[in-house]
Chain A
Amino acid sequence: MTVADYENIPPAYRRVPDVDVRDNTNLADRLQAMWETSPGLAGWFSCVDHKEIGLRYLVTAFIFLFAGGIQALIMRLQLASPNGHILTPEQYDELFTMHGITMIIWYAFPVLSGFSNYLFPLWFGSRDMAFPRLNMFSYWVFLASGIFLYVSFAVGSAPNAGWFNYVPYASKQFNPGINIDFYCLAIIFMGISTTVGGINFIVTALRTRCPGMSINRWPVVVWGTLTANAAGLLASPVVSLAFLLLWLDRTFGTQFYTSATGEFAGKPLLWQHLFWMWGHPWVYMIVLPAQSIVSDAIGVFCRRPLVGYTAVVLSTVATMMIGFGVWVHHMFATGLPIMSLSFFSAASIMIAIPSAVQIFCWIATIWTGRPIISATVFHYIAGFIFVFVIGGVSGYMTGHVPVDWQLTDTYFVVAHLHYVLIGINLFGVLVGIYFWFPKFTGRMLDETIGKINFWLTFVGFNVAFFTMHITGLLGMPRRVYTYPAGIGLSVPNLISTIGAYILALGIIALVVNIFYSLRRGALAGPNPWDASTLEWSVPSPTPPYNFVVIPSVASRHPLWEDRLQEGHGRSALDRGLVLDHHHETVGVTALDGEPDVILKMPGESYMPLLMTLCLSAFFAGLLVHIWPLAGAGAALGIVAGIAWLWPLSEAGGRAE
């Protein structure tokens, strides 16, 4: 808006915001009353507090992690010895399919959204996300779609065609049960959560920040989250579409993936294109935010700013962009033209460059800093870099067409993908848990149990999965429920099983640590790690309004300015805008972070939950082919949407 526009705005629609000091307890009390979630069940169902939502995301994602982990442990038991018969082949199919789906879609991305939901407004010096109700909606849909998926277990028809669900095996002809329909509809349902969550992160980052928070002052993890969510907006539609077409094939006999010959039949190969056009960007979506958690934590635990902030940010974005052009490396063995294979092989290998830039920046930070090696967080950072390199190298190997032809569909690929997903996602998440737990709860996680947690996880993980490289090179195919004795596979499989159970003990140690520390952990105070970013300037746990006064920042490390002596200005944390008429925060210009508008936020609402229930009815109707139920769900959903969007005076949406 230009100055002339501002002057035309009638006085009723503008005001000069008050300024006060942070220590004003009267103001803090008023904000507390205004922002606090209502007590009891009513508050639980209608809450829109981003911190509450973030914690629910984290806890729910971890429950899915445990579910997927238990499935994996049962499979490892089956594979511990040759000719195992704990599971039937059909049960094994359902377990590895649900394991993959759960971990990749219902754990790995939502857990990162959990951190970002809790921390986005704190990193930005703001009071909430741009769309608080949409935020709650994205959580409810994540939960409802996960329950929808797990109902398939309860009725004994879990998806059974692998998480990438190739046709023709997943088509009606060869898979007539309801198993695949659960997966089709659950992933479309979950796509709604990913999309609205992504929009919320992006608009929050563009708009609701404190004055002075220009884009070059964002923590790296903001860039990671934003990159992942922008990619989600572009990639999620294709997986929803792929599964919609499959569901139409299975339900109405359309001809998209049908494999019969004849002039009107479809093409199964299109499935692989559409699936991996989403699938590979998704892989980067679930690792880049975790990498950037490490980029931020590493500076704190090496007592210096991250080396190469700009290089790390640009490589994060570059990885994602190249990541949209590598999907065919999952299809090297499908008989595509050599020209196509060469292009996608080159693009896949090129990913090594931005990944290496980040690794060298981390190593340089450790090298030139004063690392606190004894801290559990630092253990996890070091473990993360170690497994990232191994996972990166095996990815570089399989990016080559001839190597891939030899290794595809063997345990080598299983080893690679677990090094990447556990290594770069789970280890990054554990860095985040140990780093921010004090902010979430006000208490420190225990360091002794933390070391036990780390060593069990790290050793168990490497024993289980490094061995799988060898199992794969020996020729064991993935997704087969057993193997014969006497062909050299018995020992490596037993070792992998032992490793998997050690890893599980490590995760149990984490759970023990969390419950122990919630009660007995040392009190954290606002900034236990002496860290540099805004979330550490508020009390732990964070009060409902986040900041008493909106801070203004003048550098990337507002809490370290006195010792870094960079630049000219100083951030103002103890004095700033008050904004205490209803739920308010300041909106800024997208790039420079200049104050632009006082945004008015909606308060608690049942609409997100209602909308989710309508959608659940809609998808349930589609699943069991009760069309009136689906129709009613859709119609009520539209009514709920209208009620949700109704302009409110208190949110500054109506003419006065």
Chain B
Amino acid sequence: MSEALAGEGRQSLPMGSIGTSASGWWGAWFVIISDSMIFAYLFFAYFWYSIQPDAHWVPGGPPSFRYSAPETVVVLVGCGSAWFAHRSIIRNELMAALAGLGATIILGAGFIALQFLDWFSKPFGFASSTYSSSYFVITGTHLAHFVIGLVMFIVLFVWTSLGYFDPFRHVPIAVGMLYWYFLAAAWLAVFFVINVTPYFY
């Protein structure tokens, strides 16, 4: 056994970043796990306030779906375009990968614009009440993550057009895709907490 381990009859091993065997892929998973906890604790605070005996939750009734519904659509379509970019690079279709990344960038920018419109449509400000402060911190935390995601996809677009990736060396695109899925999952949770749960009080 030890002889085999020491290299007798050894096989060839892949070198460097091959698919998702790169350390960065593993690191990205743990970033996302830790990051998800921020949202979990934010929701803890939100619901903790909501169950206090003297809570006015939600002031003015459940928030409107006017912007949050299209945002949900945008983020889910973005999952598709990010996935398409990743699939294309694995098939060595460079132009299709660039198209996928470009579409994701546009959708990301669109989401950010919608989020700002949603903010400006609110009748309350950041410091108006515990609810308004919680609302802006929860959606703002998500928005900050989205800005990072947008920068990520712009950089991926540049790197891909410089020809850095091929069907084996492509882990940054895989990480980008994973991060977008995280943004989408986090958004669905935010959407559910902010827009849907008020109907159950």
In the complex with contacts A16-B12, A263-B54, A241-B21 CB distance below 8 A = no
A178-214 interface code vs B (CB 8 A; 1 in, 0 out): 0000000000000000010011101100111001100
A537-556 interface code vs B (CB 8 A; 1 in, 0 out): 00000000000000010100
Residue of B nearest to A653 (CB): B17
Residue of B nearest to A211 (CB): B5
The CA of A638 and the CA of B147, in the complex, are separated in Å by: 11
Residue of B nearest to A21 (CB): B6
The CA of A230 and the CA of B22, in the complex, are separated in Å by: 20
A593-618 interface code vs B (CB 8 A; 1 in, 0 out): 00111111000000000000000000
The CA of A262 and the CA of B41, in the complex, are separated in Å by: 25
Residue of B nearest to A642 (CB): B155
Among A252, A570, A577, A654, contact of B2 (Cβ-Cβ < 8 Å):
A570
Among A14, A264, A599, contact of B130 (Cβ-Cβ < 8 Å):
A264
Instruction: List which B8-64 residues lie within 8 A (CB) of chain A.
Output: 8, 10-19, 21-23, 26-27, 30-31, 33-35, 37-38, 41-42, 44-45, 48-49, 52, 54, 56, 59
Give the number of A-B contacts (CB < 8 Å): 206
Contacts of A568 in B (CB 8 A): 1
**Closest beta carbon of chain A to B175's beta carbon, Å:** 10
A587 at the B interface (CB under 8 A): yes
B125-146 interface code vs A (CB 8 A; 1 in, 0 out): 0111111111001000000000
Contacts of A1 in B (CB 8 A): 14, 18-19, 21
The CA of A655 and the CA of B54, in the complex, are separated in Å by: 61
Residue of A nearest to B89 (CB): A655
Judge whether B18 and A13 touch: CB under 8 Å.
Answer: yes
**Closest beta carbon of chain B to A408's beta carbon, Å:** 22
Q: Interface range on chain B: under 10, 10 to 19, 20 to 34, or 35 or more?
A: 35 or more
Judge whether A238 and B37 touch: CB under 8 Å.
Answer: yes
B164 at the A interface (CB under 8 A): yes
Chain B interface: which of A141-149, A269-277, A310-318, A414-422? A269-277
Judge whether B16 and A599 touch: CB under 8 Å.
Answer: yes
The CA of A386 and the CA of B59, in the complex, are separated in Å by: 56
Chain B interface: which of A253-261, A361-369, A474-482, A619-627? A253-261
The CA of A544 and the CA of B172, in the complex, are separated in Å by: 30
Judge whether B5 and A572 touch: CB under 8 Å.
Answer: yes
The CA of A569 and the CA of B3, in the complex, are separated in Å by: 9
Contacts of B37 in A (CB 8 A): 233-235, 237-238
B191 at the A interface (CB under 8 A): no
Among A198, A203, A233, A245, contact of B137 (Cβ-Cβ < 8 Å):
A245
In the complex with contacts A131-B27, A554-B5, A652-B16 CB distance below 8 A = yes
B151 at the A interface (CB under 8 A): yes
Instruction: List which A518-567 residues lie within 8 A (CB) of chain B.
Output: 552, 554
Contacts of A586 in B (CB 8 A): 13
A267 at the B interface (CB under 8 A): yes
**Closest beta carbon of chain A to B40's beta carbon, Å:** 8
Judge whether B16 and A598 touch: CB under 8 Å.
Answer: yes
Among A199, A595, A600, A646, contact of B16 (Cβ-Cβ < 8 Å):
A600
Judge whether A552 and B6 touch: CB under 8 Å.
Answer: yes
**Closest beta carbon of chain B to A238's beta carbon, Å:** 4
Contacts of A264 in B (CB 8 A): 56, 59, 128-131
The CA of A344 and the CA of B54, in the complex, are separated in Å by: 25
Judge whether A203 and B49 touch: CB under 8 Å.
Answer: no
**Closest beta carbon of chain B to A301's beta carbon, Å:** 28
Judge whether B127 and A254 touch: CB under 8 Å.
Answer: yes
Judge whether B6 and A575 touch: CB under 8 Å.
Answer: yes
Judge whether B19 and A554 touch: CB under 8 Å.
Answer: no
The CA of A40 and the CA of B117, in the complex, are separated in Å by: 54
Can you sample 30 A-B contacts with CB below 8 Å?
A19-B10, A130-B26, A131-B23, A199-B27, A200-B27, A237-B35, A237-B41, A238-B37, A241-B42, A254-B126, A255-B132, A255-B133, A263-B56, A273-B48, A569-B1, A572-B5, A572-B6, A577-B7, A587-B21, A597-B18, A598-B15, A599-B16, A599-B23, A647-B164, A651-B17, A652-B15, A652-B16, A654-B165, A655-B168, A656-B169
The 3 closest A-B pairs by CB, nearest first: A652-B16, A552-B5, A264-B129
Which residues of A are in contact with B by a Cβ distance under 8 Å?
1, 5-6, 9-10, 13-17, 19, 130-131, 134, 195, 198-200, 202-203, 206-208, 211-212, 233-238, 240-241, 244-245, 248, 252-256, 258, 263-267, 270, 273-274, 277, 552, 554, 568-572, 575-577, 586-587, 595-600, 638, 642, 645-647, 651-656
Which residues of B are in contact with A by a Cβ distance under 8 Å?
1-3, 5-8, 10-19, 21-23, 26-27, 30-31, 33-35, 37-38, 41-42, 44-45, 48-49, 52, 54, 56, 59, 126-134, 137, 151, 155, 159, 163-166, 168-169, 171-172
